[in-house]
Amino acid sequence: MNVDADARHDEPRDDALRDVERARLRSLVEADMAAANSVHADDYQLITPSGRALTRAEYLDAVASGELNYRAFEPISEIAMWGDDRIGLLRYVARIEIQDGDELVQLTCWHTDGYEKRAGRWQAVWSQATRIMPVD
């Protein structure tokens, strides 16, 4: 992709995409499947902190069924942004809490998301989470 330096940083566009990402995270925590389905592209793929690759259907079905029960999923650092009017990459540190039966699993992860503008709206196409392990 050939993008000149000025096109990489456009604050209104960058802020709009950051807002889309925050809304995506809220939809997952609230299990708002209409919103989650809308923002995840049909060819979306997630690489989990454990290294598992999930398709859109596998991921969103797990959220819808409660198998993957987010209690919190939020940026705890600035959301860094790079892109242009068609492709956006976001990177940030996230605090994630997942209810697993009686256990609340708490993670801190680097999170990277790839978005593409399709039919006039931003859709997530790739995500990867890398767990940050506590330093002893």
Domains of the chain: 5-131 (3.10.450.50)
Portion of the chain with pLDDT greater than 90, in percent: 80
Three-state secondary structure call for residue 17: helix
pLDDT at 4 (0 to 100): 41
Two tokens, residue 70: 């987010």
Task: Provide CB contacts within 8 A for 133, sequence distance 6+.
Answer: none
Mean pLDDT of the chain: 91
User: Could you report the per-residue pLDDT of 13-72, keeping only the tens digit for each?
Assistant: 788 999 999 999 999 999 999 999 999 999 999 999 999 999 999 999 999 999 999 999
What pTM, to 2 d.p., does this model score?
Answer: 0.88
